[in-house]
Chain A
């Protein structure tokens, strides 16, 4: 097995607040290989964004208590001084966000904003940075990039803005791209284009990609591995076949059953997960999912399940026995075709 590009070990991010300690991320470990695409799936408040904001060094709240290690290319990012972290951010790891409208500055031309990122990290002149930004806009599939570089963000459509964000994120040829809900604000047609683009560029730039989303439908085509998060913990991890054709956690089942599928009959009832995600201040004892879990039994209310591998790769944190999990998945979750 090659050296992982990123290895996160037992990461916890806690925020003390007036109401109590918010355990946004609670003991998360995973690794990412070079050139791999990882999907991170969970509801709002499951800690998926905070995990990767911490990796980026963007959790800046003075009170935040961050523990664990984030090893990227052999060094622990959590121990790096701020200015070194700033060099890595952008040139080695970059991030695109959900809302392309609020992450571009409305006062500056799009080409200028991309060139600014290039000039911050590389010793190049204005002219050359501008040319590079035009080239990047071309590579992300924006027509007439020379003209587009001289326009403001409001002149771009939602999909075009997201393309521009991707151009900016990839302008320094990073080793890792984190995409936080990159398509949630976009039309379905544009969503498909953007995900294809990320796929293509991953191969072209040979980067690792992390796609954070709440929709298991979105990542089926585009991810190698998928990790499912709930209440600050990873509850299931596996390659995409493990997750879609043999998942082992009731929460993953719930996510799969909530999706409205085109091939199901019209007006067929969806089976949502009942209840709401827990407050991260008062996480339920035992398995955090137990109050919403249809298969709960006594042990779930007291013991915290560990993320245990069932075979080499696939792991889940649930007290049900493997045979029960397989029976329930086959009987109740597997999608009829």
Chain B
């Protein structure tokens, strides 16, 4: 994927700033080995396969895709929890792809993560106070005798009662636990927070509370979010720009409303048309693009456009032979498709 193409990926025209995070050609392959003593490499899982993405300060970039499309792997590569196989990551203009040791730890102050499962991401043997205070102890940004009051302020900020400082995670509901996760990620006042499916495990009524909380905190602390989810309605709701990922590649990126009105990639169209509509008449009226089958294996991804075996618009042999590049459509929109959808093709089908 060339650099020229990615430079067309501009955010809203009024924002011309240096990106906070700049990804170029990110690849992450996981080796598949056979044998116990002599491990032979027999193949690779192409989890992320050449992603260019810019995230600008103060914006929320949404990342959607089905299970196994590489969205969480990409998040972990950005967080430097995995080392990229290829490509470069820049944070505030500095190349952090190969940062190690102390420098890496200092970098982590600036980027934090909120995880999907509020049951698995909190240590059940630690009190809430010590979970939220852990970043302070590890990084020493706050003197030890001040930690408690700082933590209680954080708890108040995210809507937890500070008196619950000494309670354990099991005493909280799912939504409250997610608030604990949010408080922990805020402790070091990071610039970037990567939210990996932060509301998927929660009830709809609680999802709305957490989404509003994230929005408030963004305003208050000028945070930048990378927001990952499989549900396009949630992602569209919170994001300035939405990127759609399929089998390790970005297939489309656009401002949320553009994406909803004029999706270009048939995969985006299919995702949009799968979102449940809380309105029986609209739901009955729409024509759905139903995708057959599951996402193919990332071990041996399909040739050409990776979506062609499931694509309702695929025209062979072009789609199976030539890999489409990201190209611009509406302002701020890029998509990688040889035969893109017409404007309003999906919205009319959904009766909107």
Contacts and interface: CB of A to CB of B under 8 A. Distances in A.
A188 B231 contact: yes
A215 B276 contact: yes
10 contacts: A188-B275, A214-B205, A215-B204, A262-B275, A266-B255, A267-B240, A272-B206, A272-B207, A272-B208, A273-B205
A159 interface: yes
B61 to A, nearest CB: 13
A189 B204 contact: no
Contacts of A264: 237
B276 A260 contact: no
A293 to B, nearest CB: 13
A203 interface: no
Nearest to A259: B278
B278 A216 contact: yes
Contacts of B280: 220-221, 240-241, 244
A271 B352 CA distance: 22
A262 B232 contact: yes
Contacts, number: 140
B251 to A, nearest CB: 14
B238 A267 contact: yes
Contact of B290 (A159, A193, A217, A220): A193
Contacts of A335: 278-279
Given A43-B205, A160-B294, A220 B276 contact: yes
A192 B271 CA distance: 10
Contact of A189 (B173, B208, B215, B274): B274
B66 A258 contact: no
B178 to A, nearest CB: 13
B123 interface: no
Q: Say whether chain B's binding surface is mostly helix, strand, loop, or mixed.
A: helix
Contact of B173 (A158, A268, A271, A276): A276
Given A256-B278, A262-B275, A266-B236, 19 more contacts: A160-B294, A187-B67, A188-B271, A188-B275, A190-B294, A196-B290, A214-B205, A220-B276, A255-B204, A258-B204, A258-B205, A259-B208, A260-B233, A260-B234, A261-B278, A262-B236, A262-B277, A267-B256, A270-B208
Contacts of A158: 67
A258 B212 CA distance: 11
The 9 closest A-B pairs by CB, nearest first: A272-B208, A270-B208, A266-B256, A258-B208, A260-B237, A217-B278, A217-B276, A221-B283, A192-B274
B204 to A, nearest CB: 5
A160 to B, nearest CB: 7
Interface in B285-340: 288, 290-291, 293-294
Nearest to A258: B208
A143 interface: yes
A116 B211 CA distance: 45
Interface string A223-265: 0000000000000000011001000000000111111111111
B272 interface: yes
Contact of A267 (B68, B215, B277, B350): B215
A207 B283 CA distance: 23
Given A159-B294, A262-B233, A263-B352, A254 B215 contact: no
A103 interface: no
Contact of B204 (A214, A244, A262, A337): A214
Given A220-B278, A266-B256, A192 B239 contact: no
Nearest to A261: B233
Contacts of B230: 187-188
A258 B175 CA distance: 14
Given A244-B280, A258-B205, A272 B237 contact: no
B115 interface: no
A44 interface: yes
Interface in B214-263: 215, 230-234, 236-240, 255-257, 260
A157 interface: yes
A269 interface: yes
B174 interface: yes
Please indicate which of the listed interface residues A188, A244, A267, A277 has the most CB atoms of chain B within 10 Å of its own CB. Answer: A188
A254 B239 contact: no
A276 B257 CA distance: 32
B7 interface: no
B278 A187 contact: no
B166 interface: no
A218 interface: yes
Nearest to A188: B274
B68 to A, nearest CB: 8
Nearest to A218: B276
Given A260-B234, A273-B205, A191 B276 contact: yes
Contacts of A214: 203-205
B330 to A, nearest CB: 15
Contacts of B237: 260, 264, 266-268, 270
Given A188-B232, A256-B278, A267-B238, A262 B211 contact: no
A270 B288 contact: no
B215 A269 contact: yes
A285 B31 CA distance: 60
A143 B236 contact: no
A158 B230 CA distance: 14
A280 B66 CA distance: 36
B233 to A, nearest CB: 5
B270 interface: yes
B54 to A, nearest CB: 19
A190 B4 CA distance: 35
Contacts of B205: 43, 214, 254-255, 258, 272-273
B118 to A, nearest CB: 12
B222 to A, nearest CB: 16
